[in-house]
Amino acid sequence: MNLSTYRGDGDGFVPWLVECLLVFHLHAKDENVGAKTHLMGWWPFGKKSPTRHRIDDPLRKDTRQWLSELRDVCEMNFDNPEGARREIRQMQVNWHQAYAEGTLPEYNREGLESRAYRLLACADDEWMEWLDNEEFWKPGWRPDQSVNED
């Protein structure tokens, strides 16, 4: 049976369309023998290409979330600065991993590290001063802002 006899208007349109799709598929399949291309990549049940680009995580943390986690650790341990310092050191490891993975930008890491340095190096009596300093916890804070110019 030759499907080309059904070409024409009316009822014969559907078999003609099927023939065109079948010819296209077979022709494309013959040309791509040995090639690793996916003819129908949009098909939801097919295998995905292993060379797909990584899509940025839409739930990636921003500056405020990183700062909020650091502040929460410090405030939960307001009466135990040494315990907070241990957790800050662990957070620094997490920051370095996130930076190496590309999920934490350089400028955010520098801001977090400068805050961590202040919190790790301060004496226990200065601890509460840093926790109460609202400017210290704002995004964009830089160490030179904390020096009073008289």
Residue-wise pLDDT for 5-16, tens only, equals 545 555 555 676
pTM: 0.57
Domain spans of the chain, in order of start:
1-52, 63-143
DSSP 90-133: HHHHHHHHHHHHTSS-HHHHHHHHHHHHHHHHS-HHHHHHHHH-
- The tens digit of pLDDT for each residue in 45-104 reads 666 555 555 545 556 778 789 899 999 999 999 899 999 999 999 999 999 999 998 888
